[in-house]
A and B are shown apart, each in its own frame.
Chain A
Amino acid sequence: GENVEQHPSTLSVQEGDSAVIKCTYSDSASNYFPWYKQELGKGPQLIIDIRSNVGEKKDQRIAVTLNKTAKHFSLHITETQPEDSAVYFCAARSGGGSQGNLIFGKGTKLSVKP
């Protein structure tokens, strides 16, 4: 089955700096890779996703890159702000076909210091 590794587990940056979180996956058939942000006391919310037919996707200060050959994908946050502080999860959709569950990484706690 699919296995998703996420690094680092904690990340502290200065406001205005960039933050990068990396994930690797094991199932070459995985074709959907979302990123979630979880704020304290709330459920995770999707911030960006990418499908396997695309190498990069950007939404304002957030971008995701996918390297299918190496089976890794990364989240890039530029010009970080204190409100970016949260736990971030990457995920990969396991297997092919019409089913397949999302397999999550263990999370990265991002702290943005003002």
Chain B
Amino acid sequence: EADIYQTPRYLVIGTGKKITLECSQTMGHDKMYWYQQDPGMELHLIHYSYGVNSTEKGDLSSESTVSRIRTEHFPLTLESARPSHTSQYLCASRPAANTEAFFGQGTRLTVV
């Protein structure tokens, strides 16, 4: 079992609210990722980080922001949630380039 945790698992919030999805890993991995998974299953990379103070936008444009102040922590923030943000958000980490990614359980976000 991988040591990567996401909280909350499920979240229902109202439009316009600010939310932060938490992701923590205790494996000391430098590389961390956020994916948005749509109902059709496809994984879309929205943010990644190669280490502390490193953050990059992924392939899918997202209105969310991320920060990487500590190696183990990679939170994702939505300043003003909208119904279009309703989705499953998956966090992952990797120790190096040619290695597997370990995924968290995901956060299922519903914006009403």
Give A contacts to B, CB under 8 Å: 31-32, 34, 36, 38, 41-46, 49, 51, 87, 89, 93, 97-102, 104, 106-107, 109
User: In the complex, A104 Cα to B35 Cα: how many Å?
Assistant: 11
Does chain A have a CB within 8 A of B90?
yes
A49 x B97 contact (CB < 8 A): no
Does chain A have a CB within 8 A of B13?
no
Q: Give the bracket for the number of chain B residues in contact with chain A.
A: 20 to 34
Give B contacts to A, CB under 8 Å: 2, 33, 40-43, 45, 48, 50, 58, 90, 92, 94, 96-106
A106-B41, A107-B41 known; A49 and B100 CB under 8 Å? yes
User: In the complex, A89 Cα to B92 Cα: how many Å?
Assistant: 15
Task: Give which listed residue, A31, A44, A87, A109, contacts B98 with CB less than 8 A.
Answer: A31
User: In the complex, A45 Cα to B90 Cα: how many Å?
Assistant: 12
Question: Interface majority SS on B: helix, strand, loop or mixed?
Answer: loop
User: In the complex, A93 Cα to B102 Cα: how many Å?
Assistant: 14
User: In the complex, A36 Cα to B100 Cα: how many Å?
Assistant: 9
Q: List 17 A-B contacts (CB under 8 A).
A: A31-B98, A41-B105, A42-B105, A43-B92, A45-B2, A46-B100, A46-B102, A49-B100, A97-B97, A99-B50, A101-B45, A104-B42, A106-B41, A107-B41, A107-B42, A107-B43, A109-B41
| Nearest residue, chain B, Cβ from A97 | B97
